[in-house]
């Protein structure tokens, strides 16, 4: 989105300017999906469990394939939202940072959980963003099979494109069940990734401030 708010060179009547300034419509963000077939997913889940010699005949496990299907459908279905932005009339030019945004996704290699937190910040340009939308963008890209590196970059790139700030920074720290529950079984280990764009990448002071506030190191 490249439309910018109208600004007049002479401000004789602020109320008149408010009344005549064009309203920028919010961007409706909906996850692209061709539809979810819960019945087919439930049947496949039952076959999967049976193939691993796990019987679903007992009362306790009879409903497990359906619960599996619904659980994964929920994991892969982000809620639609409006990307609400507002004119940066005061010219605010310092860092805006939302810390400890919950992240939950599944790794695309084993479909095991990835759970952690994201820190998302930006330096405003012509517009500022409704704060809850930072968490919505994280959820939008997390609700699909992922790798943490891609997720981090997708969030940053998307905000840079649609908000057009002076800089964007995203840091994600998460625990991967494919590392802690299987294979190497590295219990307690976590993975940290970061993407810095614009001034948050090129300006050393700004980069250091962002990484310091997120708990990462420069």
Active site residue ranges: 107-110, 148, 176, 178
105 three-state secondary structure? strand
Kindly report the backbone phi and psi dihedral angles of residue 182, in degrees, each rounded to the nearest multiple of 5, phi listed first. Answer: -145, 180
Radius of gyration of the CA atoms of the chain, in A: 22
The Cα–Cα gap between 44 and 42 comes to 5
H or E segment and range at residue 128: strand 127-129
The Cα–Cα gap between 72 and 191 comes to 23
Contact criterion met (CB below 8 Å) for 141 and 101: no
* Other beta carbons within 10 Å of 176: 23
In the structure encoding, which two tokens stand for residue 203, read together? Answer: 């300006």
147 three-state secondary structure? coil
């Amino acid at each position: 989105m490249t439309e910018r708010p109208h600004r007049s060179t002479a401000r004789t009547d602020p109320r008149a300017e408010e009344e005549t300034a064009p309203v920028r419509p919010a961007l409706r963000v909906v996850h692209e999906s061709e539809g979810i077939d819960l019945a087919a997913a439930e049947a496949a889940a039952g076959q999967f469990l049976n193939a691993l010699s796990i019987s679903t005949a007992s009362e306790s496990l009879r409903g497990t394939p359906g619960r599996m299907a619904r659980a994964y459908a929920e994991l892969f279905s982000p809620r639609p939202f409006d990307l609400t932005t507002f004119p940066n009339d005061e010219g605010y030019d310092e860092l805006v940072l939302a810390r400890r945004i919950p992240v939950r996704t599944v790794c695309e290699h084993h479909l095991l959980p990835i759970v952690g937190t994201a820190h998302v910040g930006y330096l405003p340009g012509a517009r500022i963003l409704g704060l809850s939308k930072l968490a919505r963008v994280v959820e939008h890209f997390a609700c699909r099979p992922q790798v943490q590196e891609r997720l981090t970059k997708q969030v940053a790139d998307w905000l840079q494109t649609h908000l057009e700030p002076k800089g964007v920074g995203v840091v994600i720290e998460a625990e991967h069940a494919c590392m802690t529950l299987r294979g190497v079984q590295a219990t307690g280990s976590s993975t940290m990734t970061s993407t810095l764009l614009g001034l948050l990448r090129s300006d050393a002071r700004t980069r250091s401030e962002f990484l310091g506030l997120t708990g990462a190191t420069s």
